[in-house]
A and B are shown apart, each in its own frame.
Chain A
């Protein structure tokens, strides 16, 4: 039982990262029906932005909490700027184009951003990330189950980010305008909503949450790499589809579910299909099963044909 609970905690930590990044996929998809494959790279840029901020702007001896907050602002600045530029120059000119064009563009942007960062950090694969939260400090959750301090921070940050986003979307005027644009962009425009602004905002919010995730990733694993966004991006996209792409709660649910499935598969799947190398395969088995019975994902609504 202790083993099961410990693995459940591991799964929640893994799922928190997936969920936060998945929100970016799902928001953009919900509004412009674009699968922004470059979102994984926005996550990576958030992590590198935080790293650069730490190296360049945070004076030595700054208390960890303040340093992390400054890094968060720096990481967000980088990822949000990149997302806005990406939307403006790569996606907006293709707004009216057939669906495939922006999709391919997204893949191109993804490769471009990855290689761009690699240009600045060419020599080694992984850049050490400051260990501001001691990863060997274990918080005891009772029953012998533990969670490391940076992992706990990841979960807390993810929950705060998710709650803030859902409150914003449900309660604020701009949030309701976002919902309206997602439901019907043409009517929303007729009602006086500046849909271009709303679209940029969706990109910005997704990027900000990705930066939170990127920073906590760096603190958790102690290193960042230009390629780190690719795998997390794929997983987060899977999580978004699992939960029902376009649905904000679905992305969060999908993220946690995927994380837990991967962890449980590592522990309990029968040989020879057990172990970390099969975790991804089990994640996709669950995805396929869910899609067989609920083609729009767990919380996905029936999508009206409106291309």
Chain B
């Protein structure tokens, strides 16, 4: 019982302390603004270490690329942008602490991230208090924009006024996947497995609901722990229920092991996952077992959009250690939404700083309307993207090949 109480006292104290130190450093940085330009920061909150670091670094690199291009093209005249990347270690409490750090630094004008919906639940309240724009490239948890109320017939109320996302949500991704599996492909007996995380469970539940509606038999949901490696018991159990399709709500490290062990044990049915499975590492780790599996992803296939092609070329030219997939392009778009908002704010009134600037950027981001690498970037009044295009990818010959792209109604 000690920890929560300690956290309740310690977090605000820590945030406060950081705010004080940051105020001090702010004065210094305005002091040396003799060169005429000012320096503003775009924050990143993502897992930069640990299991999801490859994905987190893809996000960081996408933002770094957007900043580099903005500086080179002088998109925001008189302003030099720098990146302030913070490691949330994929944990909500760490996310809240590093978010506090970014909030306290008044030169931070917007934040891209986090990767995980569960982390966003810790980060968004912190950034929202300062009305600091937070744009996630990948959060698909429904409750972050109040969409959870829609499922039960309630009215959507936006919980965080400065929170946006450039990706579609679980309640869209799940049904889109279910329609594809049941209506397009005709699978009838569907096994559902998820990892109990906000993302995995939300996705799996939305899938199950739609699959039932489409007339498929959905078997009792099975759950695993993130980090598990031996799924033999689960697979033996599934095998006895004779499903012809498996939907997995979760991420690629576990999904790759499930598909491999499942096919090794002679249960030759396709595994389908959400965008958490749509990762290059899934293919590396699952090897030939991945063939025939599916993953849904947000947006149109990057290699079919001219804008995304440009992004991928630029990304490759930077020689980053980590791949752009799966969220580098979305992070790049999120950063550009902030940069464009900043440019507009600066043209309106150059003297704005601190809170006034943050308020203005949040307002301008809400009015975003441009063609990004992943498609059109604009938001509805709740902070959700209007670009509800999704794609189903099928693994063929060790590669994700786009099987169906459609916009979800």
Residues of A at under 8 Å CB distance from B?
Answer: 3, 6-7, 10-11, 13-14, 17, 118, 122-126, 128, 131, 135-136, 138, 146, 148, 151, 217, 220-223, 225, 227-228, 231, 262-264, 266-267, 271, 274-280
Contact = CB atoms under 8 A, between A and B. Distances in A.
Nearest to B235: A10
B108 to A, nearest CB: 26
B260 A151 contact: no
A223 B285 contact: yes
B50 A125 contact: yes
A221 B260 CA distance: 8
Contacts of B224: 275-277
B266 A146 contact: yes
A138 B268 CA distance: 14
B328 to A, nearest CB: 14
B229 A221 contact: yes
Interface stretch (B51-59, B77-85, B206-214, B343-351): B51-59
A128 B282 CA distance: 11
Contacts, number: 116
B54 A135 contact: no
9 smallest A-B Cβ distances: which pairs?
A277-B223, A266-B233, A125-B51, A263-B233, A10-B232, A276-B224, A135-B264, A136-B264, A275-B223
B264 A148 contact: yes
Interface string B257-276: 10011011110000000000
A279 B225 CA distance: 9
Given A135-B260, A135-B261, A135-B264, A276 B284 contact: no
Interface string B8-29: 0000000000000000000000
Contacts of A138: 264-266
Contacts of A128: 284-285, 287
Contact of A221 (B222, B230, B321, B322): B230
Contact of A14 (B221, B232, B240, B256): B232
Contacts of B229: 217, 221, 228, 231
A124 B229 CA distance: 16
Contact of A279 (B233, B253, B264, B281): B233
Nearest to B52: A125
Given A123-B57, A266-B237, A277-B223, 14 more contacts: A3-B236, A7-B237, A10-B230, A122-B49, A128-B284, A135-B264, A221-B229, A222-B257, A223-B256, A231-B228, A276-B224, A277-B196, A278-B223, A280-B225
Nearest to A137: B264
A222 to B, nearest CB: 6
Given A3-B240, A125-B52, A146 B260 contact: no
**Does more than half of chain A's interface fall in helix, strand or loop, or is it mixed?**
helix
Given A126-B253, A276-B228, A280-B225, A262 B54 contact: no
B231 interface: yes
Nearest to A217: B229
A88 B351 CA distance: 63
Contacts of B284: 124, 128
A17 B321 CA distance: 34
A276 B240 contact: no
B31 interface: no
Given A125-B53, A126-B253, A222-B287, A10 B236 contact: yes
Interface residues of B, number: 42
A52 B170 CA distance: 40
Nearest to A151: B232
Contacts of B266: 136, 138, 146
B233 A146 contact: no
Nearest to A276: B224
A10 B257 contact: no
Given A124-B281, A222-B285, A227 B233 contact: no
A161 B228 CA distance: 25
Contacts of B240: 3
Contact of A126 (B196, B222, B285, B322): B285
A223 B227 CA distance: 12
A1 B240 CA distance: 12
Contacts of B287: 128, 131, 222
A264 to B, nearest CB: 8
B240 to A, nearest CB: 5
Contacts of A266: 233-234, 237
Interface in B37-93: 49-54, 57
B232 A276 contact: no
B234 to A, nearest CB: 5
B220 interface: yes
B223 A231 contact: no
B321 to A, nearest CB: 6
Contacts of B228: 231, 276
Nearest to B289: A136
B53 A122 contact: yes
B296 to A, nearest CB: 22
Contact of B263 (A17, A125, A136, A262): A136
Nearest to A280: B225
Nearest to A4: B236
A231 B233 contact: no
Contacts of A263: 232-233
B281 A148 contact: no
A276 B233 contact: yes
A262 B285 contact: no
A11 B285 contact: no
A25 to B, nearest CB: 19
Contacts of B285: 126, 128, 222-223
A276 B230 CA distance: 10
Nearest to B281: A124
A148 B225 contact: no
B127 to A, nearest CB: 27
Nearest to B263: A136
A21 B47 CA distance: 30
Contact of A275 (B227, B234, B236, B260): B234
Contacts of A131: 287
